């Protein structure tokens, strides 16, 4: 506590304290939070997220990891009106993804931690500017930045990147008129999976989409729920009462 009190009194530049105690010391976090005016940040949610909120361990939680886990933790903290901050140490695309995620989390009102400006090399044609301590959320297609395919190929062949999955391209003529396959180093790399942006388009998938859409519409207009395997959010209650799905509605006989 003496060190924290010194920071509070004589070092106004200190805005937060991150991980001052072992994350398993629940009592210690609770008591420290009561004794200091400096906000406490817990790096991650080792108890699962909800337990940290219930115990009131920190003023803010630094979240990251998979997209699903990050958004789940972010929305849980939003419901509890607790601040979160995102930490993603990737390049420009990593920061762009983090900014898109943060922009929809209701309590991501603090800073974020990104390392895009620390890389000597990156595989985008532009970087995200920082103006007066803030960066605008990219608003272009996808994550908002174009990939430098030559630079990406070089990073993949050198082993700097472990792999890449691509389905849209810039300078590479995937749909070119040549009868030969493209020979760009990017698509020739063994650690690249490339598809021509039509990987989901087939005769079967097109038929299933068309027939499934019509069946869903007919089911609802007939006062029934759609076929169970056509419903994504099964917990959502329809505005108008619907009867359970009757497979005889589409009896092919």
pLDDT for position 163? 92
Tokens of 86: 């995102």
| Helix residue spans in the chain (DSSP H) | 2-10, 26-35, 50-55, 67-79, 92-104, 149-158, 185-188, 203-221
pLDDT for position 253? 52
pLDDT under 50 in the chain at which residues? none
Q: Helix, strand, or coil here: 7? A: helix
pLDDT for position 174? 67
pLDDT for position 186? 86
- Side by side, the strands of the sheet bearing 40-43 are 17-18, 40-43, 60-63, 83-88, 113-114
pLDDT for position 175? 63
pLDDT for position 125? 85
pLDDT for position 19? 93
pTM exceeding 0.85:
no
pLDDT for position 9? 86
Dist. CA 36–CA 161, nearest whole Å = 43
Count CB atoms within 10 A of the CB of residue 92.
23
């Amino acid at each position: 506590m003496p060190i924290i009190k010194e920071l509070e009194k004589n070092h106004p530049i200190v805005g937060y304290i991150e991980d001052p105690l072992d994350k398993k010391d629940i009592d210690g976090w609770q008591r420290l939070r009561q004794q200091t005016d400096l906000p406490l940040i817990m790096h991650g949610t080792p108890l699962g997220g909800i337990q940290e909120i219930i115990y009131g361990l920190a003023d803010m939680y630094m979240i990251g990891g998979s997209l699903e886990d990050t958004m789940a933790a972010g929305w849980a903290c939003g419901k509890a009106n607790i601040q979160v901050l995102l930490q993603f140490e990737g390049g420009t695309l990593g920061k762009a993804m983090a900014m898109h995620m943060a922009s929809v989390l209701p309590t991501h009102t603090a800073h974020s931690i990104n390392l895009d400006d620390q890389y000597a090399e990156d595989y985008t044609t532009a970087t995200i500017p920082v103006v007066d301590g803030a960066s605008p959320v990219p608003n272009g297609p996808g994550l908002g930045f174009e990939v430098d395919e030559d630079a990406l190929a070089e990073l993949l062949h050198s082993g700097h990147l472990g792999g890449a999955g691509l389905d849209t391209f810039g300078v590479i003529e995937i749909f070119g008129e040549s009868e030969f396959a493209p020979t760009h180093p990017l698509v020739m790399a063994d650690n690249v999976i490339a598809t021509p942006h039509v990987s989901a388009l087939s005769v079967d998938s097109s038929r299933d989409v068309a027939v499934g859409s019509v069946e869903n519409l007919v089911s609802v207009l007939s006062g029934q729920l759609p076929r169970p395997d056509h419903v994504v959010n099964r917990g959502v209650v329809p505005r108008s009462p619907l009867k359970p799905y009757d497979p005889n509605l589409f009896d092919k006989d």
